[in-house]
Amino acid sequence: IFLEKNPIKFEKQYNFFIQNFKIKKSIINLTTILDSAWINKEFVNKRIINDNKRQRKRLSKLGNLKFFIADSKKEKLEIVNKMIQQKHLHYNQSGKSMFSLKKYKDLYLLCSDNLGKYGKVHISALLINDEIIATHWGFYNNETFYYIMPSYNINKWGVYSPGKVLLEFLIDWSSNNNI
């Protein structure tokens, strides 16, 4: 795994990636620690909160909106395959898709169960009537959640901001699980 320009610490907490993986190159990476004020949405722009609420309401009008965390290997592979499909479509529209190469597909498919000592993989999706509209592949270790690879079908669902809606569910899940 190649990671680039990750800070050594996030506030007072050591960066899990720096401790456990070899760094090869450097580019920019943004990271934050969410404190209780963020979790309680005290410092979140009211426009963002209201927009997410509006998008959830719009999506709910289309059917049963559900946040889903994969548990079985079959569920994980289904969501990861959908993530690869969505990312491939998006990347192809903006240039070249990394998922054109088998090694990138294999990385996410092979790491869909767990990362051993590095953490537990967290694969989730936002669904409408059992149709996957957005996905996330990430993991958590100790008390840190790593938001790594989100996706959604930009052509079909982009106007509903499903990535932001899914991110809010992930933040709530992390908070509820003391991560």
CB-based burial, 86-121: b 16+ in 10 Å, e otherwise: bbbbbeeeeeebebeeeeebebbeebbeeeeebbeb
Position 103 scores a pLDDT of 86
SS3 56: helix
**23-25 and 3-4 strand pairing:** parallel
- pLDDT of 1 above 50: no
Residues 28-51 have pLDDT tens digits of 444 455 555 455 566 567 788 889
Q: Which of 35-44, 55-64, 90-99 has the lowest mean pLDDT?
A: 35-44
Query: Average per-residue pLDDT in the chain?
Result: 80
Q: Which of 56-60, 161-165, 173-177 has the lowest mean pLDDT?
A: 173-177
- pLDDT of 6 above 80: no
Q: Read off the pTM.
A: 0.77
Greatest Cα pair distance, the chain, in angstroms, is 47
| Strand partners for 39 | none
